[in-house]
Amino acid sequence: MPAIIARDLSKTFKTKVRPSGRLAALRSLVKPEYRDVRAVKGVSFEIDDGELVAFLGPNGAGKSTTIKMLMGILRPTGGSATVLGLDPAEDRVELSRYVGAVFGQKSQLWFHLPPSDSFRLLGSIYEIDDDDRRWREAELIERFGLAPYWDVPVRKLSLGERIRCELAASLLPSPVALFLDEPTIGLDVVAKREIRQLLAEAARVDDTTIFMTSHDMGDIEKVCKRAIIIHHGEVVVDESMKALKRRSLSRKYVGVRYASPVDLELPGLSPVKRTPTAASFEVDTSRHSLAEVVRALASRGDLEDITVEDEPLENVIAAIYETRSGAEAQALGLNASKGAGAARAGEAASA
Amino acid sequence: MRSRCYAIAASTSMRERAAYPGNFIGSMFTYALFVFIFSRVWAGAYAGASEIAGYTMRMAVWYFIVAEVPSFGFGRFFWTLSRDMKNGQIAYLLARPYDYVGYNFAEKYGGSLVEAGVILVEGLLVGILLVGPPPLAGGAPSLAGGAGVAAEASRALLVGLSLLLAGALNYFLQASIAMTAFWLEENEAFFWIFQKLTLVVGTLIPIEFLPTAAATLARLTPFPYLSYAPARIMVAYSPGEAWSLVAAQALWLVLAAALARIVFSFGSRRLSVNGG
């Protein structure tokens, strides 16, 4: 049975309309008007035990709202969710025994106290007996390298050190599933790399199902095996990271530099950058043979350097983010093979 | 054991509050200033009068000293709860295997005991410096020797108990108001009204100073039990009245705790935390 199932999951918030003008403002005090904001519009997916899934989308796409519905913090206005066999909306407290969470912009640690105090409290919240807690703490201290700041007040830790502690704290009760909402936000390159390694290791060692939102392509490529992209409240892509990366492989960037100025006219290809002795080309490999392009460029002059690069994954995802609707994202030719929400988006596109 | 979790939450919160003694300086200064100003106000009011509504000047000053302890020690639950709800921290707090209202009470109330204790000790020192020791328990130069000590001990115990009940009642009433944020975008006006009623009904002046009808009406509300009860026990101790005040506080506490649970039970279903 999958660890997480979402079926047509929807959430509509009611927000008060603030009318302009004094008379309208007074009228709204007596008879307020509300507008429906459809944050999540019927998303569907299934996530197996131990899967590492990136849940992506631009700001306001509905990622955090979906996570909160899956944790039982928000009640869906439509559809259903099952997490570890439980209905999050009805069994929130029971579910919280088996599910951990890290919200990158929030903290579960006590600010003026060392992490050890927060871990002790968390141990009591999850009813872990003291001996088991100490054993688990020792394991996490070693794995996450927390020893140097185990007894240092959290306020004195760097952001990277704090996030390490947050992540370790969320793993203290050995959760079956872990929800992470932008866990590396604000971290420097080194701290990000460390957190990604720790996350991947947590998934491997504890066989934890990981469901992670992030805007950082590095997080996604290094940690996750599958990507679900949500946009305008709908799933528009649901496929393996390999498949997502293959999209970027269909486009290559070829850069060349010559010892002296050359003529670089190639049939059907125009350079995206050009100087008298250098140029770079964007090559759609479905239309042009990469080998022929390289051969043609090598034959044009005294070649000093040539580079061939994949299109960054970021560009593929940015193209989806820039669309105005789920249907439009689908029209980019991206396949949402697993998601029913995406299937609907596909139908809308074809209509 | 859930009770162990709540005990650890309270002790952790107490240590967090005690980690920065400097945090108390602002409220300690304000409290001392208020007590000093009110002692001067009462000095003016009592010029030419030895008693007002059964209170001597020394009783009135000591009344104010004790009545202000809950305001300073237990007066900020609304703001901390509202902050958790508005900044989305509640998402973390709800995703835990505990009874949210019980846990939150243990954490917030536990932490507030540190500040309330500091303010109470300060109040005792400031009071002794300004007007001398509080009136004797039982009115009582007559209660000499062991009986006097027993009356003083019993009063101290009941003042302490009454202050603890006042704090707990304060928590559940403020929590009930704060949790209206599940429905309302703006709920500070309710707390503003609550604060002002608390001040007028038993904090700034004893209930006995109010007109009879207003005093009778006030006794039907929870407000006198937020500050009047411990202050009255302190300055006009009699075991019968003290126990009846404590019993009324306990009753209001049960009602307020039930109200908070009902508000949470309905409100949490309407939680609206949009965005990360």
Residue A312's pLDDT is 74
**Interface touch B9/A92, C-beta < 8 Å:** no
B201: left (phi over 0), alpha (psi -120 to 50) or beta: beta
- B261: DSSP letter: H
Residue A30's pLDDT is 78
B5 interaction partners in chain A (CB closer than 8 Å): 121, 124-125, 127
Q: CA A348 to CA A306: how far, in whole Å?
A: 43
Nearest by CB: A125 against B91, B96, B276: B96
A332: pLDDT strictly greater than 60? no
A88 to chain B: closest CA residue: B95
Residue A249's pLDDT is 67
Ranking A286-290, A311-315, B63-67, B159-163 by mean pLDDT, the lowest is A311-315
Q: How is chain B split among helix, strand and coil, in percent rounded to 5?
A: 80, 0, 20
Ranking A87-91, B1-5, B142-146 by mean pLDDT, the lowest is B142-146
Residue A325's pLDDT is 61
Q: Mind telling me how many Å the CA of A14 is from chain B's nearest CA? A: 9
Q: Where do the domains of chain B lie? A: 2-273
Please tell me whether residue A94 adopts helix, strand or coil conformation: helix
* Across A56-65, average pLDDT: 87
Question: What's the pLDDT tens digit per position in B173-192?
Answer: 999 999 998 888 788 999 99
Instruction: Provide the 10 A C-beta neighbour count for residue B57.
Output: 18
Calculate what percentage of chain A has a pLDDT beyond 90: 37
* Across A123-140, average pLDDT: 94
Q: What is the value of pTM for the model shown?
A: 0.83
**Interface touch A124/B4, C-beta < 8 Å:** yes
Residue B264's pLDDT is 93
Instruction: Provide the 10 A C-beta neighbour count for residue B41.
Output: 14
Position A346 confidence tier, pLDDT thresholds 50, 70, 90: very low
A159: pLDDT strictly greater than 90? no
The DSSP line for B139-198 is G-SSS-HHHHHHHHHHHHHHHHHHHHHHHHHHHHHHHHHHGGGGT-S--HHHHHHHHHHH
Question: What's the pLDDT tens digit per position in A244-271?
Answer: 777 766 778 899 999 998 888 888 788 8
Q: Within an 8 Å CB–CB cutoff, is residue B3 touching chain A?
A: no
